[in-house]
């Protein structure tokens, strides 16, 4: 027997295992020196079969016998033959398992590819069984008979179905190594494949990802379930250990000749992006000194309230107010003290009015409050109570007590006051009257 054929016959199981590891995404398991372990037994087998002194360990004897008029070689197996067969059995079991796992998670041509490779791994079992039971009593090595159809199936998988296409390998690499989470669903919304990152991202929404039906997996997260079923995009917010977590979910339908055969769900942890977005949004909408709505945000929110009030016949009132003699405070105590007065005054506004009311700093010492479901009479009472609270609240800056008063104008949304600007103009007119009448008072338009 030629040495080259002995060599390939000996190491074929090891190469078959390497191929299965490579094309099922498990090659990392045998990187570096680990790959040499796979070849130890095949190389020993090659050495034993190649030498005369140790050949008896593989075949004890080789005899020629006449069977049915034909001369045949009768081989008596040695102890190392059993070792090699056990090694082949182990590699076959591993290959079969790897290919079956990928077969279950594949679709289309890829499913056909892995089914062929799976069958190519199953056929040698028959040869091993025949060898171990010595079927026919001839000692024939049936692996040589089974090997050609196995090679045919492998060749079919690696050529006809373009299994070695670099694009497929690249997609596999992206799927496994991406910082994004990928989940593959079949047409019945069953999870058929996912990468490690998707497992971690699903933990952010307290879900253990596994191969099961999506309805069962997300029975407690109907918003996410609806998003995926509708193939839409959504950013999901969850509180995990007291912290805000945001996961972006994007779903794309997978089609084959216009037929939807599944969905690819892409997950991304966008917590930092969302925090930054909310922070920027807050900065854009908030007055930096008072931490109240700035003028633009106040008008935007007030317009929405007025639109809703006119639609549902709700009553709305507006308060416009000025801190009395604020310039004197700046001149007497300094601008730092003036800033502190603005901050304290803003805190008093938040404490005295409802969270549903719209409060804003219109500029300088001027403030505005939109009171929802509140007519001008009730608005006057609330404004007066706030004015009294401000008057009785001492503001201490650098051990100095600053007395602050406020003038307030009140207007109400009615048939003649149909816009925010007209409501502001009326409240401003009432505020001007409050100042004309001596300040530190409330006037209704």
Q: Is a pLDDT exceeding 90 seen at residue 351?
A: yes
- The percent of residues in the chain predicted with pLDDT above 70, rounded, is 81
What does DSSP say about strands 406-412 and 442-444: parallel, antiparallel, or unpaired?
A: parallel
Nearest Cα to 251, choosing from 269, 224, 271, 277?
224
Instruction: Report the top-level CATH class of 286-444.
Output: alpha beta
Q: How far is it, in rounded angstroms, from Cα 9 to Cα 124?
A: 13
pLDDT tens for 279-296 read 888 788 888 898 899 999
Q: Which pLDDT value is given to residue 46? A: 82
Contact between residue 432 and residue 409 where contact means Cβ atoms under 8 Å apart: yes
pLDDT tens for 34-53 read 777 888 888 887 888 777 77
Contact between residue 348 and residue 386 where contact means Cβ atoms under 8 Å apart: yes
User: Is CATH 3.40.50.720 correct for 178-275?
Assistant: no
Helices 143-159, 108-133: axis angle to 10 degrees equals 170
Q: How far is it, in rounded angstroms, from Cα 429 to Cα 445?
A: 7
Q: Which pLDDT value is given to residue 416? A: 74
Q: Is 72 helix (H, G, I), strand (E, B) or coil?
A: strand
Domain map (residue ranges) of the chain: 3-165, 178-275, 286-444
Reduced to 3 DSSP states, what percent helix, strand and coil does the chain have, rounded to the nearest 5?
A: 55, 25, 25
Range with lowest mean pLDDT among 72-81, 169-178, 314-323:
169-178
- Beta strands, E only, 68-133: 70-77
Mean pLDDT of 18-40: 74
Of residues 154 and 432, more confidence is placed in 432
How far apart, in Å, do the first and last CA atoms of the chain sit?
113
Contact between residue 15 and residue 7 where contact means Cβ atoms under 8 Å apart: no
- Which residue carries 């409501």 as its tokens? 423
Q: How far is it, in rounded angstroms, from Cα 189 to Cα 228?
A: 9
Q: Which residues contact 146 (CB under 8 A, 6 or more apart)?
A: 123, 124, 126, 127
What rounded mean pLDDT belongs to the chain? 81
Q: Is 164 helix (H, G, I), strand (E, B) or coil?
A: coil
Cα 263 to the chain's mean position, in Å? Answer: 15
- Which residue carries 């045998």 as its tokens? 30
């Amino acid at each position: 027997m030629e040495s080259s054929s002995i060599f390939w016959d000996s190491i074929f199981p090891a190469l078959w295992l390497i191929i299965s590891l490579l094309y099922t995404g498990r090659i990392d398991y045998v990187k570096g020196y680990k790959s040499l372990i796979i070849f130890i037994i095949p190389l020993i087998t090659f050495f034993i079969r190649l030498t005369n002194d140790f050949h008896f360990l593989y075949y004890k004897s080789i005899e020629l016998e006449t069977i049915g008029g034909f001369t045949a070689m009768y081989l008596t197996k040695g102890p190392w033959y059993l070792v090699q067969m056990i090694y082949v059995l182990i590699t076959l079991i591993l290959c079969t398992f790897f290919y079956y796992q990928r077969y279950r998670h594949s679709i289309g041509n890829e499913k056909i590819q892995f089914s062929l490779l799976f069958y190519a791994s199953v056929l040698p079992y028959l040869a091993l069984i025949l060898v171990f039971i010595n079927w026919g009593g001839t000692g024939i090595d049936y692996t040589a008979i089974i090997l050609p159809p196995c090679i045919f199936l492998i060749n079919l998988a690696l050529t006809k179905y373009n299994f070695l296409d670099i694009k497929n390998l690249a997609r596999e690499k992206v799927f496994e190594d991406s910082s994004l989470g990928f989940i593959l669903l079949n047409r019945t919304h069953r999870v058929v494949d996912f990468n490690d990152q998707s497992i971690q991202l699903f933990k952010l929404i307290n879900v253990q990802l596994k191969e099961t039906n999506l309805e069962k997996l997300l029975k407690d997260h109907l918003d996410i379930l609806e998003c995926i079923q509708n193939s839409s995009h959504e950013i999901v917010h969850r509180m995990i250990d007291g912290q805000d977590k945001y996961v972006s979910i994007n779903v794309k339908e997978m089609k084959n000749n216009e037929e939807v055969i599944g969905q690819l769900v892409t997950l991304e942890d966008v917590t930092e992006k969302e925090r930054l977005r909310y922070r920027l949004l807050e900065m854009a909408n908030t007055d930096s000194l008072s931490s109240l709505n700035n003028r633009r945000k106040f008008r935007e929110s007030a317009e929405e309230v007025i639109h809703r009030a006119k639609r549902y016949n709700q009553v709305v009132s507006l308060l416009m107010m000025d801190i009395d003699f604020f310039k004197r405070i700046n001149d007497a105590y300094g601008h730092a003290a003036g800033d502190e007065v603005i901050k304290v005054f803003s805190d008093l506004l938040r404490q005295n009015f409802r969270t549903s009311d719209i409060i804003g700093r219109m500029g300088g010492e001027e403030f505005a409050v939109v009171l929802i479901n509140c007519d001008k009479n009730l608005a006057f009472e609330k404004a007066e109570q706030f004015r009294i609270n401000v008057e009785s609240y001492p503001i201490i800056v650098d051990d100095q007590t600053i007395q602050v008063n406020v003038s307030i104008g009140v207007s109400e949304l009615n048939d003649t006051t149909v816009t925010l600007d007209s409501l502001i103009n009326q409240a401003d007119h009432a505020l001007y009257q409050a100042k004309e009448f001596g300040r530190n008072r409330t006037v209704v338009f």
